[in-house]
Amino acid sequence: MAARKKQQQDEEKISIEEAFALIEAKIEALEDEGITLEDSFKEYQEGMKLLKYCHDEIDKVEQKVQMIAENGTLEDFE
């Protein structure tokens, strides 16, 4: 349980770019022919958590994006 909390805290401290780089490393590890089934499952789980983190972060950014309306006022992105 403590390890899960630490991983969540670590994910919150990384940028989206860093998360994507970690995902790429997970993909490369999964493509290795010598990877064990147990290790591949672990890499897959960690990769999926990183993907969810990226998705959540992108959603947050989209919510903050504003568009300039035709009349010059700012409107929230929808």
Give the domain range for residue 6. 2-76
**Number of structural domains found in the chain:** 1
- Condensed to tens digits (0 to 9), the pLDDT of residues 21-58 reads 999 999 999 999 999 999 999 999 999 999 999 999 99
Across-strand partners of 66? 76
What is the chain's mean pLDDT, rounded?
Answer: 81
Averaged pLDDT, 63-68: 62
pLDDT exceeds cutoff 90 at 13: no
> How does 52-77 read in b/e, with b if 16+ C-beta sit within 10 Å?
ebbeebeeeeeeeeeeeeeeeeeeee
The more confident residue out of 57 and 5 is 57
